[in-house]
Amino acid sequence: MKELIEQELEKKFLCSARFAQEIEKIVQYDNISYIDSIIFFCEKNNIDLEMIAKLISKPLKDKIKQEAIELNFLKKTSRAKLPL
């Protein structure tokens, strides 16, 4: 069953780049956050949120992470070192 759903998702989106484009369109036109746009997209298309993990590209993950930091869902990470 899980494999069938994944195959249907791949047919619809073709790849993670296509999924990212769809999410970017929602963010741009509806003026909502990345997190909310993914939830909206999944609800609109009757897709379980857990099934789209493979479709989220690295740039999209980075945008979601930045958004989560701004909303205080994640702690800011600082790997900067002082020059010695």
Q: Which tens digit of pLDDT belongs to each residue from 8-58?
A: 766 665 578 888 888 999 999 999 999 999 999 989 988 888 888 888 989
The predicted structure's pLDDT at residue 77:
72
If phi over 0 gives left and psi between -120 and 50 gives alpha, with beta otherwise, what is residue 34?
Answer: alpha
Q: Which residue type, as a one-letter code, is found at position 52? A: I
DSSP codes of every residue in the chain:
-HHHHHHHHHHHH-SHHHHHHHHHHHHHHH---HHHHHHHHHHHTT--GGGGGGG--HHHHHHHHHHHHHTTSS----------
Q: Where are the domains of the chain?
A: 2-70
Q: pTM score > 0.75 for this model? A: no
The predicted structure's pLDDT at residue 55:
85
Second-level CATH architecture of 2-70? Orthogonal Bundle (1.10)
